[in-house]
């Protein structure tokens, strides 16, 4: 496994552990639909809400680089399309929230920054 992939897997595991410790149910990790992928699909405790979570893991100092910049319009579009596919496939009557988790450091010394409701799906005009 390439070093970058290993770092990403460690970050996603830390993100799952973080969510589980807070009572979330992790339904899926690395769920794919064609070329689209959702890092984590989780469900909030006692709520009819599905969380679509994008995980960004960085080993270095993020003082001069904002990992949120990696969540651009194309990434958002892909996440929304993947979430729509997931909800349709499993026929889930749940609302959706898009969250981001930024993991920094090197395992086991990781810092987790959870950004709930990090973005809203873009609106489409009728034309």
Predicted pLDDT of residue 50: 96
- CA 81 – CA 117 distance, rounded (Å): 17
DSSP-assigned letter for residue 23: T
Top CATH class of 3-119 equals alpha beta
Give the E-state strand segments of the chain in sequence order.
25-33, 36-43, 49-58, 95-106, 109-119
Q: Is-contact 80 121, C-beta < 8 A?
A: yes
Q: Is-contact 12 101, C-beta < 8 A?
A: no
Domain range list for the chain: 3-119
Predicted pLDDT of residue 62: 58
Predicted pLDDT of residue 48: 87
- Which tokens sit at 94? 């749940």
Predicted pLDDT of residue 125: 46
Predicted pLDDT of residue 122: 77
0.85 exceeded by pTM: yes
DSSP-assigned letter for residue 91: T
> What DSSP string describes 33-59?
ETTEEEEEEEE-TTSSEEEEEEEEEES
Per-residue pLDDT tens, the chain, 127 aa: give them: 677 778 889 999 999 999 999 999 999 999 999 999 999 999 987 888 999 999 998 887 655 566 677 788 899 999 999 999 999 999 998 999 999 999 998 888 899 999 999 998 876 645 5
Phi and psi at residue 72, to the nearest 5°: -95, -175
Q: Give the Cα-Cα-Cα angle 78, 11, 85 (nearest 5 degrees).
A: 25
């Amino acid at each position: 496994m390439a070093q970058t992939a290993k770092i990403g897997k460690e970050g996603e595991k830390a993100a799952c552990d973080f969510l589980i410790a807070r009572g979330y149910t992790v339904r899926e990790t690395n769920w794919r639909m064609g070329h689209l992928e959702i890092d984590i699909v989780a469900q909030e405790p006692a709520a009819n809400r599905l969380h679509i979570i994008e995980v960004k893991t960085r080993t270095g100092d993020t003082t001069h680089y904002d990992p949120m910049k990696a969540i651009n319009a194309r990434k958002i579009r892909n996440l929304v399309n993947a979430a729509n596919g997931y909800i349709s496939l499993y026929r889930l009557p749940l609302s959706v929230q898009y969250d981001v988790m930024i993991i920094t450091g090197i395992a086991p010394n990781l810092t987790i920054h959870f950004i709930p409701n990090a973005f809203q799906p873009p609106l489409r005009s009728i034309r």
